[in-house]
């Protein structure tokens, strides 16, 4: 079948919940992807911040092949070696105390919400506790995760949500304080908002939230699904400021392509929240997924991935700043590490489409922001190549 035929077949068989780009990707190598016609694309999307190690990493692939030959799945009625090893490495990287493996980031956020509400329930026996989330946030499409997602457009067709959710503004401490009641059990936020526009939280804001939560025994939940796993130059974004959460969620680059997520609890929360029978998953933490997690942590260290982010990110920022200074249609650049956004005065869809035609894969964050979340192994030469493609696209469209 030709690429056009595959697209037509997909449109006939798959539920149309995505407006897909009109290419069929076939294989990848390094930071490049190839479609069925053999056309090469420089990838600055990384499967939405997933493929941190790039494509066709031989050591990663071999680890998965080896595990497939041993054991893929058993269920959580039994222990398995990869899950134990992966949990140990994840605890070390995050500084948290307990791990629950899930299949996705949305599921991780569901678990985080349940843990927070169970913690509050055990304190007073009430079930009317409230959670404060941030406007413009994104936490997933399942009901609990969607309920704390700060974009009404995503929620309105599926109301009512789980209830008792209040919204405040990122980096506006007073807006958070105004939502706190004696029923508040948790505050959830992304240290760097991704889908909502690539907005980093400030150090001052995070520290004030930590102090507020400590004072009132409110749990602080950080969604590190997109901004975690080295993307900001730290394994987890909060580590830049030393503001440790009570609950943290992680996914995307945690498995570098294998569907896996996790929520992590502090010792205090783990001892006073979920117990046997409160939460579960059939596939979460299975040997194949956690073998991927374990190998990812090994390769992050062996290939000095975070060091590379810290080396290349300032160069990416510099080049994006040059674009912003050159073109009047660009308002600003913002972001952290290899999670950057160019904010335009107009919709960016035509620019992204033009870039795709010329062999560059980009994604948006809202209608007017181009989001840059490339593999964490990119080089400065890759940044130059990206700019060489993107700049003419901006000129052509504008």
* Average pLDDT along the chain, 398 residues, taken 10 residues at a time: 92 94 96 97 98 97 98 96 98 98 98 98 97 98 97 95 97 98 98 96 98 98 98 98 98 97 98 96 97 98 98 98 97 98 97 98 96 98 98 94
| The pLDDT of residue 398 | 85
DSSP state at residue 237? G
Pick the CATH number of 3-57+304-397 from 3.40.630.30, 3.20.20.70, 1.10.10.10, 3.90.1150.10: 3.90.1150.10
Global pTM value: 0.97
pLDDT of residue 145: 98
The CA–CA distances, whole Å, from 357 to 36, 93, 149 equal: 15, 39, 33
The CATH architecture that domain 71-302 belongs to is: 3-Layer(aba) Sandwich (3.40)
Distances in Å between the Cα of 282 and the Cα atoms of 74, 107, 229, 252 are 9, 12, 25, 19
Q: Write down the H helix ranges in the chain.
A: 3-13, 46-49, 58-70, 81-94, 105-124, 143-147, 152-155, 173-177, 203-216, 267-271, 287-302, 305-326, 349-357, 380-397
Closest CA to 131 of 142, 115, 153, 108: 115
Residue carrying the six token digits 């998953």: 281
Where does the chain hold its CATH 3.40.640.10 domain(s)? 71-302
Residue 377's contacts (CB-CB under 8 Å, 6 or more residues apart) are: 30, 31, 52, 53, 54, 303, 305, 308
Question: What residue spans in the chain does CATH classification 3.90.1150.10 cover?
Answer: 3-57+304-397
Q: What is the dihedral of CA 241, 245, 248, 250, to 10 degrees?
A: 0
């Amino acid at each position: 079948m030709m690429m056009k035929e595959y697209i037509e077949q997909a449109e006939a068989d798959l539920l149309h919940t995505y407006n897909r780009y009109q290419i069929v990707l076939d294989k990848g190598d390094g930071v490049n992807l190839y479609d069925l016609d053999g056309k090469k694309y420089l990838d600055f999307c990384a499967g939405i911040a997933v493929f941190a190690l790039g494509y066709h990493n031989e050591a990663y692939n071999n680890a998965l092949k080896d595990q497939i030959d041993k054991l893929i799945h058993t269920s959580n009625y039994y222990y398995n070696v990869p899950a134990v090893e992966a949990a140990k490495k994840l605890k070390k990287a995050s500084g948290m105390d307990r791990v629950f493996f899930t299949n996705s980031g949305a599921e991780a956020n569901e678990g985080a919400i349940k843990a927070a509400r169970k913690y509050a329930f055990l304190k007073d026996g009430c079930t009317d506790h409230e959670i404060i989330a941030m406007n413009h946030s994104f936490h997933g499409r399942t009901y609990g995760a969607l309920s704390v997602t700060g974009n009404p457009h995503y929620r309105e067709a599926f109301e009512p949500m789980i209830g008792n959710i209040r919204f405040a503004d990122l980096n506006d401490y007073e807006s958070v304080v105004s939502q706190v009641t004696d029923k508040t059990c948790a505050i959830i936020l992304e240290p760097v908002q991704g889908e909502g526009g690539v907005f980093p939280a400030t150090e001052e804001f995070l520290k004030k939230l930590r102090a507020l939560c400590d004072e009132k025994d409110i749990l602080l939940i950080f969604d590190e699904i997109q901004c975690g796993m080295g993307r900001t130059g730290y394994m987890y974004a909060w580590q830049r400021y030393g503001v440790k959460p009570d609950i943290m969620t992680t996914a995307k680059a945690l498995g570098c392509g294998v569907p896996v997520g996790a929520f992590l609890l502090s010792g205090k929360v783990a001892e006073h929240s979920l117990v046997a029978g409160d939460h579960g998953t059939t596939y979460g933490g299975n040997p194949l997924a956690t073998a991927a997690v374990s190998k990812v942590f090994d390769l992050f260290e062996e290939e000095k991935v975070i060091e590379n982010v810290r080396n290349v990110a300032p160069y990416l920022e510099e080049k994006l700043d040059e674009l912003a200074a050159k073109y009047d249609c660009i308002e600003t650049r913002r972001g952290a590490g290899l999670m950057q956004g160019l904010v335009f005065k107009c919709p960016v869809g035509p620019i992204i489409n033009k870039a795709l035609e010329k062999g560059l894969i980009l994604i948006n964050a809202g209608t007017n922001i181009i989001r840059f979340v490339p593999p964490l192994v990119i080089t400065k030469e890759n940044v130059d190549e990206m700019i060489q493609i993107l700049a003419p696209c901006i000129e052509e469209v504008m």
